Structure 1
Amino acid sequence: MSVRPAHLGALEMAEGYAGGRLSPVEVATDVLQVVEGGEPELNAFWVRDEPEQVLARALAAQERWAAGAPLSRWDGVPVTLKENIARAGVPMPAGCAAVDPVVPEVDSPVARRCDEAGLVVLGSTTMPDWGMLSSGHSSRHGQTVSPLNPDWTTGGSSSGAGVAAAAGYGPLHVGTDIGGSIRLPATWLGLASLKPSAGRIPLNAPYLGRVAGPMARRVEDLAALMDVLSGPDPLDWTSLPAQDVAWTDLDVGADGRSWSPHGLRVGVWTRAGYGVEPEPEVVAATRAVADRLADEGAEVVEVAPWLDQGVLDGVNRFWQVRSWADLSRLSPERQALVHPFVAEWARQGEGLSGVDVMDAYHAFADLQARTVAAWAREGDLDLLVSPVAPCPAYPAELPMPYPEEGRGMWHINFTLPWNMTGQPAGTVDVSRTDDGRPIGVQIVGRRFDDLGVLKALRRHSR
């Protein structure tokens, strides 16, 4: 059975364009039909670019291919961008109904590189208020809905990006992640994702732990977006130096032979030691990946917990103060428009002293130091395998998987550390629960070994 153009991978599209078997206009037309069938019910888009704009971009790419002068090998491939990735002239409300949206005058590095590569931008995808929910709830947008089952969460904060990927709105989607916001929706929507090394993809507003990264149905599409987006940019003073990375050579090892985990030292981490411990099905899926790596020649070692609840509480407290600073500047009338869960969570930062805030901030450094020490303690691991989240997709009506008793952030225990150490961490869809909910597994690499993580993810994709 043939695959419709909208559902092809980026590499298949690119090869079709280069060989004259497929055209960017044909693909864009089909993608727009898929989007039309899903929106506005799925509510993946904050700004859905006009079809005429999208088709004009596709036609320009088609003409470049016809002239033998594509802007890149990915010229004409569709992409979506999360709403907090600045696009000149496109308002950025950060998912919140209470604020007057910032309207950027220039593109962010991510948006600019998509344009420079000829990618066909479809629009800007939704997120929850200030990015502080792991769900599709937003005071500005309403609820973003999972195309797998409307009763299941989408995850967040890259909720719209994840839904666009899962619904087949083209192959490439860019999210952002500060503690799990790419990887959580990916695992709950059955996707692949990569939180790149810190500085690998430049940002227009760098912030501790924050990255932009790819979400897709295929690991190969993650590699295509890394090929477009990675590299230094003067706007981001934290961006990494230029590096020649063969992003799409996912089957090739360092010796030029087929990639294999043989000889790698791999940690398996299934007991967090803080937050909420993972459910049995999640542990089983993680161990199945570790067992397969062992069968292929990797040395797999158990990794014991190295963090405690105090570290997570400190990070949570600092984020509460940061959001309280935003909330407190709003009038009472505007504050009432913020999502209730986010507003109540932020208000817990009110009244903290400067000493309290500095103690909370020190939790980040404590987390970094302990995590780096644990990695070295286990013999300088090549990879680490863990759950992404403690649970499969939770009920869609909840703003967080564990919203009560102060446990709002307790589900980011497996994802948060790697934002702070800057290590690449990706997810891959590996299994299903008895009721059909996806279960993803996280694979973490050494600092800067994004390509190694992608190769390991591809090995385990369903």
Structure 2
Amino acid sequence: MDETMHELAGLAATDLVAAYRGRRLSPVEVTRAVLAVIAERDPVLGAMWDVASEPACHAARSSEDRWRRGEPLCPIDGVPVTVKENLARAGVPMPSGCAGTLPVVPACDSPVVARILESGGVIVGSTVMPDWGMLSSGVSSLHGVTRSPWDPALTTGGSSSGAGAAAAAGYGPLHVGTDIGGSIRLPGTWLGLTTLKPSAGRVPLDTPYLGRVAGPMARSAQDAALLLTVISGPDARDWTSLPAEDLAVPLADLTLDLSGMRVGLLLDAGAGLPLEDDIRRAVQAAGAVFADGGATVEPVDPFVTPEMMAGLDEFWRVRSLVDFLALSEERRERVLPFIRRWVQRAADVTGTALMRDYSSIMTLQQATATATQPYDLVLSPVAPMSAFPAEWPMPWGPDSDLGMAHIAYTAPYNMTGQPAATTNCGFTADGRTVGLQVAGRRFDDVGVLRAVAWFEQHAGAGLRPRWPVR
């Protein structure tokens, strides 16, 4: 393939918009480049569920006409975007990554998809996920194994596995994932991405659920902020969506003065697997960067307990067991064996136990809000381990069941609804990426993105990934 195609597909959204405005590039040539990169790389990476070549080219031609007239719809007009397969696109089946389901074929677009299209964004397709989104990897009974663009032997993380691979590989600059316990941020750490799990209700969904959000996955804070301005805002279909707030103006300026800011540094979640040494060192060094920038950085005591994580895990098992039992016997056999075992271990959970699990989640909410309230930001690892083999459904391999022992840093912010972002803050000794999680007070998505942008500017060029876009 012409090297120019890879270069175009790997450009940032902010660079593309500037080039469109200056008539140095056309949305048509950029879209063609992205589609060519997908065709070349996806047989190995396995990131895409549906590639919308014809609709994308049509949208790109319409965008080209608008830019030629000087009438773009918004700042992402003509920019290639992917969306996760559980974000409805009219007429595109939604199997939720599971070979056992009868895919729903939506009649209309989800709020996220509708806003991207209304803004002139060019949706090049839908990205894959593992079975029901309940794995932190790219292993799916329907799609097979999604692989890291850094090293196909390694995981992408999940459940926004395809979105993460697409972002790192240069399938365009903007990608939308979903997250209920870490599914945007785990690919963030294991692929070096900048991601945001927004405040609960910031980005509307057509199927809201406790902890679930949709948010941007990109290669810089500027691009993540740009996408958030498009997909945020209320929608009548989401009764949990926040009131209207114009984020475009504050997110246009991501500068930040850390003077007087109080920043917490959490290196022990209190539950889950122990933190790898390389990750600890990278996150400690990130805390030092914030301190050098003028913030007061203080250690945060652990606030999650093993009982809280066990209750959350059991609650989710029962939820997925309901989906599993709705399938015919023949279709149940098609579900990923790991997921079959995981849900069936909840078969004897009583109603009383389930209510105890729900109460445990409320206790987790309270503990998280209380521990983090004193701080403008809380820095932490994203996960206690670095990227693991691509074929493993979970970080401990295919045979063990450790519940949710890897998401004690991420899941608490889903339960409270606080915004939490990731950005790369270092590398392991063998070169795997290490993500920094930056969490903020509820509704302060702007502050979190500003902090991430500040870190990306001040942490040193050696911490920015050299993206595997070719």
Global fold match (TM > 0.5): yes
Equivalent residue for 2:388, pick from 388, 394, 406: 394
Distance 1:358-1:296 versus aligned 2 partners, 3 A rule? same
Q: Which residue of 2 aligns with 1:345?
A: 342
Q: Deviations over 1:138-180 (max 9, x none)?
A: 0011111111101111100000000000110000000000000
Within 5 Å, give how 1:365-384 maps onto structure 2: 365-376=362-373, 380-384=374-378
Q: What does residue 198 of structure 1 align with? A: 200
Out of 417, 423, 440, the residue aligned to residue 412 of structure 2 is: 417
- The 5 A counterparts of 1:267-286 are 267-286=264-283
SS of 1:447's equivalent? Answer: coil
CA distance 1:388–1:233, change in 2 (3 Å): same
Amino acid at match of 2:232: S
Q: 2:158 aligns with which of 145, 148, 156?
A: 156
| Aligned ranges 1:70-109 → 2 under 5 Å | 70-109=72-111
Q: Distance in 1 between matches of 2:54 and 2:232?
A: 29
* 1: CA distance, partners of 2:236 / 2:54: 33
Question: Which residue, 97, 110, 113 being the options, matches 1:111?
Answer: 113
Q: Does 1:8 align with 2:11?
A: yes
Structure 1 residue 237 corresponds to structure 2 residue 232:
no
Letter aligned with residue 424 of structure 2: D
Shift of 1:39: 1.8
Give me the whole-angstrom Cα distance separating, in 2, the residues matched to 1:277 and 1:385. 17
Q: Tell me, yes or no, if the aligned pair for 2:75 and 2:226 is still in contact at 8 Å.
A: no
- 1:439 paired with 2:434, answer yes
Residues 1:30 and 2:24 are matched in the alignment: no
The CA distance in 1 between the partners of 2:152 and 2:214, in whole Å, is 27
Unaligned runs of 5+ in 2: 457-463, 465-470
- SS of 1:373 mapped into structure 2: helix
Q: CA deviation at 1:96?
A: 0.3
Q: Distance in 2 between matches of 1:218 and 1:411?
A: 25
| Contact 2:379–2:437 under 8 Å retained in 1 | yes
Residue 379 of structure 2 corresponds to which residue in structure 1? Answer: 385
What's the TM-score once normalised by structure 1's chain length?
0.96
Q: Secondary structure at the match of 2:434?
A: strand
Maintained 8 Å contact 1:214/1:222: yes
Q: Between 37-46 and 402-411, report the one with greater CA deviation.
A: 402-411
Deviation at residue 247 of structure 1 after TM alignment: 4.9
Deviations along 1:110-135, whole A, 9 cap, x unmatched? 00000000000010100000000101
* Distance change in 2, residues 1:399/1:247 (3 Å): farther
In the alignment, does 2:261 pair up with 1:264? yes
Q: Which residue of 2 aligns with 1:255?
A: none
Residues 175-221 of structure 1: CA distance to partner in whole angstroms, max 9, x if unpaired?
00000000001110111100000010000110000000010111111
Contact 1:76/1:119 (<8 A) preserved: yes
CA shift, 1:33, in A, is 1.6
Query: Counterpart in 2 of 1:364?
Result: 361
Partner SS, residue 199 of structure 1: coil
- Counterpart of 2:252 in structure 1 is 249
1:295-374 correspondence runs (5 A): 295-374=292-371
Q: What does residue 290 of structure 1 align with?
A: 287
Q: RMSD between aligned alpha carbons? A: 1.4
Counterparts of 1:33-52 in structure 2, within 5 Å, are: 33-49=36-52, 51-52=53-54
Question: Where does residue 468 of structure 2 map in the other structure?
Answer: none
Deviation at 1:261, TM superposition (A): 1.4
C-alpha contact (below 8 Å) 1:128/1:157 kept by paired residues: yes
Rounded to whole Å, the distance in 2 between the matches of 1:202 and 1:282 is 33
Instruction: Tell me the secondary structure at the aligned position of residue 41 of structure 1.
Output: helix
Aligned to 1:256: none
Structure 2 SS opposite 1:25 = helix
TM-superposed deviation, 1:405: 4.8
Q: Deviations over 1:413-440 (max 9, x none)?
A: 1000000110000000121112111001
Matching residue of 1:207? 209
CA distance in 1, matches of 2:58, 2:400: 51
Distance in 2 separating the partners of 1:247 and 1:129 = 37
Opposite residue 457 of structure 1, the aligned amino acid is: V
Aligned to 2:452: 457
CA distance in 1, matches of 2:231, 2:13: 14
CA contact (8 A) 1:232 1:242 kept: yes
Could you tell me how far apart the structure 1 residues matched to 2:48 and 2:85 are? 9
Distance 1:419 1:170 in 2: 27
TM superposition shift of 1:64: 1.2
Shift of 1:335: 0.9
SS of the residue aligned with 1:4? helix
The offset of 1:73, in angstroms, is 2.1
TM-score norm. by structure 2 comes to 0.94
- Please tell me the residue identity of whatever aligns with 1:446: R
Name the amino acid aligned to 1:43.
G
CA distance in 1, matches of 2:80, 2:28: 10
**Structure 1 residue matching 2:436: 3-state secondary structure:** strand
Name which of 206, 222, 225 aligns with 2:224.
222
1:40 match: secondary structure: helix
State the percentage of identical aligned residues: 52
Long gaps (5+) in structure 1: 253-258
What is the match of residue 128 of structure 1?
Answer: 130
What is the Cα deviation at residue 69 of structure 1? 2.0
Secondary structure, aligned partner of 1:39? helix
Q: Which stretch of structure 1 is more off in the superposition, 402-411 or 104-113?
A: 402-411
Contact 1:402–1:411, Cα closer than 8 Å, also in 2:
no
Q: What is the alpha-carbon distance in structure 2 between the residues aligned to residue 352 and residue 440 of structure 1?
A: 36
2:410 is aligned with 1:407: no
Deviations 1:93-118 (A, max 9, x none): 00000010011111110000000000
Aligned partners of 1:76, 1:32: CA distance in 2, in Å? 14
